[in-house]
Chain A
Amino acid sequence: MSFLNTTQLVLLERYLDGTSMRQTLVATNVANVDTPGYQTRDTDFRGQLQRALSGDDNDVLVPFVMPVRGLISRPDGNNVSVDRESLLLAEIQLQYKAAISILRAKFALLSTAIKEGQP
């Protein structure tokens, strides 16, 4: 069944995994906007996807979650930026929905090809 595991389809699924995981990080940052000492977290899953696509043989992927640089800390030690997280919430949601749309289109095409246009 290799037609179901093309590079495109696997890539789309990994992209969905990455964006939903990144959104959970953003939501956790938002939930902790008033927690003293909390440090913003993020992930670079797209960089890792790119490296995987270009054929780097990294068997062990380093952990996704990483602290964010360049953020200003408030006196209580919290460095969550309301603007940054709000922007990411909207952006990541759109990325996820776009990937879902593309995935649906690919599945629909496969379905049509299999059934040869007959219901």
Chain B
Amino acid sequence: MTVARSRQITAVASVILLCSMASAAFLLRSMDETFPSATLQQMLYISSPKLLKRLSLGYDGLVADIYWTRTVQYFGGIHSRGGGTYKLLWPLLNIATQLDPHLIPAYEFGETFLLAKPPQGAGDPYRAIELVQYGTQNNPNNWHLYYDLAFIYYDQKDYLHASEAFLRASQLPNAHPFLKIMAAQMAQHGGDLRTARMMWSAMYETTHDKLIQANAAAHLRAIQVNEEVTALEHLVQAYRDRTGHFPETFSEMVSSGMIRGIPLDPLHHSYRLESGGRVVVSNPDDLPFLDKGLPRGYVPSAAPKLSPES
């Protein structure tokens, strides 16, 4: 083979090879963007965990991991597009944990996002309990799972069971000391705001998952807003008592010396006043989980972001 011709063919083939691979990569990305759920149907092609277990031919762990990564991607995908009802969350978590009962992160994730109401989560507390109880059965020495269970009971306002769960957790090896404190707090002051703050701070501190952390932070902000709105509305009432009418804006209250400056919410946006002495937040979409401070007639249009830009 002459050197020249051989080099020619090598050059042409190499160029074609590189261009083709580049095009292939580009096309794959295109497909991704257009069809993020292109393989959604494939995810639950086989939806029975038992069948899947048999088909895994002993590679349960690997298959469990695959389903766990699919769960995270599934959740993340819907979450970034504004949230939804996460219909497949339970089946995916069920499969993953059935294949690998020691997949601890799955239980925590499930507890948080099966519990949360749409559009933040699936809003299915019973499944959440079922999942975490299955977890505690299979991992009896893991205090974190009992902690997760307590959280669910707390959310459902079943303070007795929540306290019991905390107690169980505190008795396990390596249990965090705060668990005993939580058990006591829950037993006596289940419905208190202080308890709520303790719960969510603990969650924020102890979780490794960024999404769960953001969720906890959002809850803490909501608690703060609730407190601030309550306090502000008291002040507004006092203003009314003094002047005989509700203030239109906070500037009025500032000039009358009742408050020092325009009050700001945890996201540094100013609170506003509605008629009738109602204090509301400016951007309710950025502050999920609020009980107070929501404008009249407010309906969440899309899922409020858990981690707002500001």
Tell whether A pairs with B. no
Chain A interface (Cβ < 8 Å from any Cβ of B): none
Chain B interface (Cβ < 8 Å from any Cβ of A): none
